[in-house]
Amino acid sequence: MTGIGIKDGKYLIAKRSEEEAAFPGLWTVPGGKITREDYINTPKDTADSWYNVLEKAVVREVGEEAGLEVENIRYLLSLTYLRSDNIPTMIISLYCDYKAGEVDLSEELTEHNWVSAGELEDYHFVPGLREEIELVDELLRSGEMRNWSGVYDSADDKSVRDGNS
């Protein structure tokens, strides 16, 4: 899952380390995987299940990767891709409000910025992520959510086209 953090109308972005296997040197937002520890040591909400595990996981991931506390977590969209070993993977993109803390990046991230939607073009993102942040910005401005539309063309993404980071 990913967590697009919002503070004072700006979005937290972070640059992936050049050492990362996937998308080295590209800009992203904090995120990661749900782990068993995100729920197993907490009481079940029903006889068989836990609720809000995704939300708890994004709070943990943003804390681990960026040192921040977040709140008011909302669903944006989901995407699926095939890993290099042909295993399908689903990512849930969430957006959330800054609550507290100062940015303190984990070792997998090397730089950060708080940017407005108008500044997104200045960065080379993991493919599709700039458009996700633009969707959040549009939703916050208009109050209306639109779905991802069209077919993504990697030739339109500067980070893919010219390989810059």
Q: How does pLDDT run across 68-124, given as a tens digit for each residue?
A: 999 999 999 999 988 889 989 999 999 999 999 999 999 999 999 999 999 999 999
155-163, long-range: CB < 8 A, 24+ apart: 157/125, 157/127, 157/128, 157/130, 158/124, 159/26, 159/27, 159/124, 159/125, 159/126, 159/127, 160/127
Range(s) of the domain holding residue 33: 2-161
First to last CA, the chain: 22
Give CB contacts under 8 A, 24+ apart, made by 160-164.
160/127, 164/124
How many domains are contained in the chain? 1
The CATH number for 119's domain is 3.90.79.10
Find, among 163, 1, 165, 155, the residue nearest to 77 by Cα.
Answer: 1
Residue 2 has pLDDT above 90, yes or no: yes
- Residue 41 pLDDT greater than 80, yes or no: yes
**Burial call 129-138: b when 16+ CB within 10 Å, e when fewer:** bbbbbebbbe
